[in-house]
Amino acid sequence: MRAIFGLGNPEKRYYDTRHNIGFKILDLFLEKNRLSLSPGKGNYYFVKGEFSDSPFLIVKPVTYMNLSGKAVKEVLDNYPLEVSDLLIISDDINLDSGKIRIRQSGGDGGHNGIKSIIHSLETDQFSRLRFGVGKEFDNGLQADYVLSKFDDETLASIKPSLELSVLLIEEFLLGGTQSMLNLLSKSSQKDNSKTNSQNEDN
């Protein structure tokens, strides 16, 4: 069994904010697979399912972002999961909007949700999908920026990356982190090929 966690803040007013991109990606996966979440035995909502005979959990913590680790630890206590079975999806201000990076381990990168998970699990050896939300804010205004909503133009520009993120979740369920990395590499090569072709046409 594998488990996918999207990070975000639980109140509706945060739904379309940059900090809640993890929730948004999970919602797209749930919609595609006609699944809905129910309250879990702790500070999270979840659904169990199977993807091509691979069992999984989809989980949204209902703690605020900086306590995400509490919900992740509760899920690990309630289900037969190892840390290596986890995929955490979060926003990343250090990446351009729509850029995706996958890591099998590492530090928190200044993200309070990842920091909380590392603290609660006492390890950083879990996979994460980091979704870029850009860094277009003045010094000291980071909190306001990540808690602000995407405008329509930005949402349209990141739509392909959101769709790719859903495919990456599916790859993780089928073959783990390496399968995700393979798909992301193929997608990047395809994008580069398109760019080169357009440059030649121009």
Residues 40 and 75 sit within 8 Å (Cβ to Cβ): yes
Residues linked to residue 55 through DSSP beta bridges, in sequence order: 50
Token couple for 146: 């990540």
Q: Could you please report the per-residue DSSP string of 28-78?
A: HHHHHTT---EE-SSSEEEEEEEETTEEEEEEEE-S-GGGHHHHHHHHHHH
Phi, psi of 186 (to 5 degrees): -65, -40
Residue 49 corresponds to which amino acid? G
Distances, alpha carbon 185 to alpha carbons 95, 115, 180, in Å: 17, 27, 9
Q: Which of 3, 9, 14, 19 does the annotation list as catalytic?
A: 19
Please confirm, yes or no, whether 19 is among the known catalytic residues.
Answer: yes
H or E element at residue 130 = strand 127-132
Q: What is the DSSP letter of 112?
A: H
- Tell me if residue 99 falls in helix, strand or coil: coil
**β-strands 44-51, 38-39: how paired?**
antiparallel
Report d(CA 108, CA 100) in Å as an integer: 16
Q: Which residues are catalytic?
A: 19
